[in-house]
Structure 1
Amino acid sequence: MKFAAKENGFVTHLSYGDLHVSGDEAYGFCPYQLLVSSIAVCSGGLLRTVLDKMRMPCTDMKITADVTRNEAEANRIEKIHLHYIITGENLKAERVQKAVEAASKNCPMVQSVKGSIVVTESFELLS
């Protein structure tokens, strides 16, 4: 990836479109938003795949990401809690818990921040 400076941030040109990144939300996505989004969406995508393989496909999934930052240390991200709201038929809580654990263990984004950012998960099931 190549990033070019612009007046209020940076831009990179990707096959899907341009990605504008800035510390000011008025000019692009903030870096912390991209980091949290990468972790949430990577985990959620893997969770859907694992549920499909376990023959428990979901018809809908929403993810809430609660972020804890430390202002005293450069406003660094210390914790991310992912809460999955999963809709589907025949979803068994015990098996979904195993799927959540497998997704987290195999998510490249979660594993990339392991030891630096605490990532926790919870879920609720809707039918």
Structure 2
Amino acid sequence: MEFKMKPDVGFYTETGFGRLDIAGDEEYGFRPYQLLVSSVAVCSGGVLRKVLEKMRMEIQDIHIQADAEREDEEANRVSKITVHFRIAGSDLDEKKIEKAMVLTRKNCSMVQSVVGSIEVEETFEIV
């Protein structure tokens, strides 16, 4: 990826899906921590979806709520990401979903990339 400086604040890159603006100020683009949290949450969601499908569970929808805790004393770094999945479907088995959550954590490249530096907590509910 190539990033170019914007004249006002921040940087941008062109992707196959369009322009991505990134800046420390939300008025000028996505904040870097938002992209980090989004990467962990959506990677986990995609892996979870695939795992549940392989377990032959009929998933109608997955909503993800992701939150970050930051450490003011340490350059405002992200110290914890909490990811909560709300899963809708037919005949969902809680025990199978618990197993799927373990596999998801193990196979999500973004979660594995931050292991040891950022705590990632994943929970779910069936709706």
TM value normalised by structure 1: 0.97
Equivalent runs, 1:1-127 vs 2, <5 Å? 1-6=1-6, 7-126=8-127
Structure 1: which 4+ aligned runs deviate by more than 3 Å?
Answer: none
CA drift of 1:57 comes to 2.6
SS at match of 2:79: strand
Number of equivalenced pairs: 126
Task: Please tell me whether the aligned partners of residues 47 and 108 of structure 2 are also in contact (alpha carbons under 8 angstroms).
Answer: yes
Task: Give distance in 1, aligned partners of 2:45 and 2:38.
Answer: 10
Structure 1, unmatched stretches of 5+, are: none
Structure 2, unmatched stretches of 5+, are: none
Task: Please tell me whether the aligned partners of residues 10 and 20 of structure 1 are also in contact (alpha carbons under 8 angstroms).
Answer: yes
Task: Give distance in 2, aligned partners of 1:12 and 1:92.
Answer: 42
Task: Please tell me whether the aligned partners of residues 70 and 78 of structure 2 are also in contact (alpha carbons under 8 angstroms).
Answer: yes
Q: CA RMSD in A?
A: 0.6
SS at match of 2:105: helix
CA drift of 1:40 comes to 0.1
- 1:64 partner letter: Q
CA drift of 1:101 comes to 1.0
Task: Give distance in 2, aligned partners of 1:57 and 1:107.
Answer: 21
What are the superposed Cα offsets for residues 8-48 of structure 1, whole Å, 9 maximum, x if unpaired?
10010111100000000000000000000000000000000
Q: Identity of aligned pairs, percent?
A: 54
SS at match of 1:8: coil
